[in-house]
Structure 1
């Protein structure tokens, strides 16, 4: 194998500007692997930073965390991965703190320490090569495309939320929003046995949801609450997952729920932060559970890998068709930030 001395990576240098920079590759440690990174998908956090809408720790940002690649070198202590294994990025964690020992790796204090690369801050998902702790990658099915495998992290965050809902088979679930994360919530809820209906205003997203086998509501053309009551034999939904950061969506979700003991999952953030919009008395008298979710733990990543590797969920329709390579990264961000788009995947090698 040709020795890799320098890496090329995409980074945000100012609002609306993504560039390709270069830096030396660090030395490989015994518990690390060198990954030839194949693809990194642009998530909402990435493009809202590019747009200047989301807070961050300053430029330059070497972001990207929805990635996949191939192991091309491994440290002396790495025993559970081999050269040539196809992997996707998970979170970093130490494995020994109180949070890691109790299965709460998302709270590990070192989770973000690997994001510090001198003047650059971020997960380096848009790098052509990168060295990572072996604990921060998970083996994937080679039948998946690099862009599909890169969905590991967002699917894991969805799994975390679905677990918090304690979802049971045959429960009626409404998902508000059919963007990438709304569709992933619908996929995972269906894989766990729920009956799912999706509420969305954009026609192209409604068409995608229908083609993927979901019942749909267009709240701009019909009364969404009435349609949910029709879907649930006038009982109301057991669960509403709100995959848009919007006060009106929160209010509408509360009206879609069954009379008592319904659950609302606040999956999406927005900037500035929206109000929840429902009263404390409504939550009290109807025994509504308002649940927040963010990030994912190791077991969620493993569950997500199983869903993807066994094709229990198919994310192929959630990748935009235009091809972008690393040198096209600013154009990729332009498309990713266009309303109505699903994930834009940046390919990090042309061969």
Structure 2
């Protein structure tokens, strides 16, 4: 049965999330109607709720780490999707601009990432809606064996894979330090290990230290140990080949500069911070030590497809990265719990 209305969560101002209703538009020939099951609150969503990303606009019908089940499809969709398929959403993209033709859909020149793409009133992708209609090209197929909240990890995992392409990890040779054992830090750690790197995780929070150890990583307790000194001990004084900054903090940025090896190291500035963190570095140091400072953001189509494949084949395990599941009716509570001390809070969109 196709509903007439949808129920969705949105941010109306700093610190305020609420549930609203609107009409469900007519299904077009190239679209899918999806019963959305789960949408995880990412750092971007949480920072907007905090009032740190108000440049993105209110009201924000956000959410983009989302999965669900196809319940209807347009006549031009073809055989790529069938009713009953589990899917995860991608960012919106036009498919015709130069960036989209190159697969760089998060840099689409015609559709804003968090623009008013579905409504004249609301910004955002309506990831926190119980039902929604999107272009079929904006989905990837997921395994029916994956829980909805795990299938929703395609977008964040895709951004990690995009980072890994730039880092060019050498299997069996590179030591990778991940600073910050939050959701994105441990996703980076898992993928770096899957690609053959030796991975060391640095973290201050006891809960995250315990999770990191349970996932089999070498761990530095940054609140009781000197991370730079410990990295040198782990590497027999050589330093790290690669440091991934999975937290946006000045102290972490400067630690990364001290724990890298003497030549040809790479530092990935994976995380954004609000307000913006600082990094104190002598340009001559970059020159003589041949340091690569790598910026990374978003994903391309290959990253999304590879992320879906890795999740479907269980080559990465995200089950420990879901903190709690909360129904859509309690979305304000969900945002309150989605703080940096926790892993992903998943909003359940069709709770009985």
TM class by smaller structure: over 0.9
Matches within 5 A, 1:102-117: 102-112=102-112, 115-117=117-119
Distance in 2 between residues matched to 1:19 and 1:104, nearest whole Å:
33
Q: Which residue of 1 aligns with 2:335?
A: 333
Report the Cα offset of residue 116 of structure 1: 4.1
Separation in 1 of the partners of 2:144 and 2:349? 17
Deviation, structure 1 residue 283: 0.9
Distance 1:194 1:261 in 2: 16
1:248, 1:277 within 8 Å by CA — same for their partners in 2?
Answer: no
Aligned equivalents of 2:241 and 2:111: distance in 1?
34
Conserved in 2, the CA contact under 8 Å of 1:19 and 1:330?
Answer: yes
Maintained 8 Å contact 1:320/1:343: yes
Post-superposition offset of 1:254: 1.1
Distance 1:246 1:210 in 2: 23
**Does residue 287 of structure 1 match 2:290?**
yes
Structure-to-structure mapping, 1:115-194, within 5 angstroms: 115-170=117-172, 171-194=174-197
Q: Deviations over 1:253-288 (max 9, x none)?
A: 011111010000000001111122222111111110
Give SS of 1:253's match.
Answer: helix
Return the offset for 1:103. Answer: 2.5
Alignment of 1:195-344 (within 5 A): 195-321=198-324, 323-337=325-339, 339-344=340-345
CA contact (8 A) 2:97 2:110 kept: no
Distance 1:34 1:320 in 2: 28
Unaligned runs of 5+ in 1: none
Matched ranges for 1:74-85 at <5 A: 74-79=73-78, 80-85=80-85
When structure 1 is superposed on structure 2, of 268-277 and 169-178 the one drifting more is 268-277
Contact kept? 1:92, 1:114, Cα under 8 Å:
no
Partner of 1:348: 349
Q: Answer with 226-235 or 109-118: which moved more.
A: 109-118
Count of equivalent residues? 348
Query: SS at the partner of 1:49?
Result: helix
RMSD of aligned alpha carbons? 1.2
Asked whether the equivalents of residues 169 and 197 of structure 2 are also in contact (C-alpha less than 8 Å), the reply is yes
Report deviation, 1:114.
6.2
Quick check: 2:11–2:58 contact (8 Å CA) kept in 1?
A: yes
Give the secondary structure class of the aligned counterpart of 2:56.
coil
Give me the whole-angstrom Cα distance separating, in 1, the residues matched to 2:116 and 2:122.
11
Q: CA deviation at 1:199?
A: 0.4
TM-score by length of 2: 0.96
Cα deviation for residue 54 of structure 1 reads 1.9
In 2 relative to 1, CA 156–186 (structure 1 residues): closer, same or farther, beyond 3 Å?
Answer: same
CA deviation string 1:172-223 (max 9, x = no partner)? 0000000111011101111111110000011110000000000000122112
Asked if the contact 1:92–1:110 (Cα under 8 Å) also holds between the matched residues in 2, the reply is: no
Give the aligned partner of residue 5 of structure 1. 4
CA distance in 1, matches of 2:52, 2:334: 18
**Any gaps of 5 or more consecutive residues in structure 2?**
none
What is the match of residue 25 of structure 2? Answer: 26
